[in-house]
Amino acid sequence: MDCVLQTFLDDLEVAGNIAQLRAALTKLTDGIGLKSYAYIALPNCSYRRPRLISNYDPRWTGHYLDQGYHKSDPIILRALRDPSPFRWGAEFTSSVSSRFIRNFFHEAASFGICSGLTFSMGRWRAGRAALTFASDSFGSDFLIHAPEICGALRMIAYDFHRHFRRLVAPGYSVNGIALSLRQVQCLEWIAMGKTIAEVAFLLGVARSTAKRHLEIVREKLNVRTTAQAVAALGVLKRTI
């Protein structure tokens, strides 16, 4: 598991867009044997749609967002009021639950979402967020052993949330091409004469990660050398 986690952290560090974040989390869940996941970032304004990053069946996620289920989903509502991780499953389909909740969870189960472990996260911009690891059965092994792996999954959830916030925060552009803060930092240190090893040390990342940041910048700017990329810093602009 350590190797899978390290790969996940490295993938998050170089992720330059939401699709790459999703790919990193998908690889992680596949690597540790989890069925599926859903990260949702809720806006503070009711008229805005939430941001949903998931490997759930797209028919379910589309239906979920179209119906505005995030406003009444009991998992989300609990995550908003309870910062502690919690498990959920069969209890929501019992006769003591309301008709809406029973119908909601029967719908979800038809798409292979039967039980899960949810982590509530702090604010992003003005909203809140949560990450759920889900199973297609009510007696999933990972839920049975959740106390043993909860610490690792909590770390995964918070690190994913941190990198999501980094991507949706104001960034930078060169001639209209978006660059992340970390990519700009790598270029700026190189411009000051630092080696890749020194840049990695200064940013607290692996040497391979710093190197990959610079490779991505060269690809984005369509230049052959890092020196050419550094020269482009002269037209760097902050984006909102």
> What pLDDT, on a 0 to 100 scale, did the predictor assign at position 80?
87
- For residue 2, give every residue at least 6 positions away whose Cβ sits within 8 Å of its Cβ, in sequence order, or none: none
Gyration radius (Cα) of the chain, Å: 20
Distances (CA, A) of 168 to 26, 35, 41, 180: 20, 27, 11, 10
> What pLDDT, on a 0 to 100 scale, did the predictor assign at position 34?
86
Number of domains in the chain: 2
- Residue ranges of the chain whose pLDDT lies below 50: 240
Place of tokens 């790598």: 186
Same domain, 146 and 221: no
> What pLDDT, on a 0 to 100 scale, did the predictor assign at position 180?
81
> What pLDDT, on a 0 to 100 scale, did the predictor assign at position 195?
94
The two tokens of residue 168 are 């949706």
Encoded amino acid at 40, one letter: I
| pLDDT, tens digit, 9 for 90 and up, residues 31-66 | 988 889 999 998 877 677 899 999 999 999 999 999
Same domain, 90 and 130: yes
The two tokens of residue 233 are 């810093």
Domain extent, residue 148, equals 2-168
Same domain, 187 and 143: no
Same domain, 65 and 29: yes
The strand pairing partners of 123, in sequence order, are 128
Same domain, 47 and 118: yes
Same domain, 194 and 218: yes
Question: What CATH number does the domain containing 66 carry?
Answer: 3.30.450.80
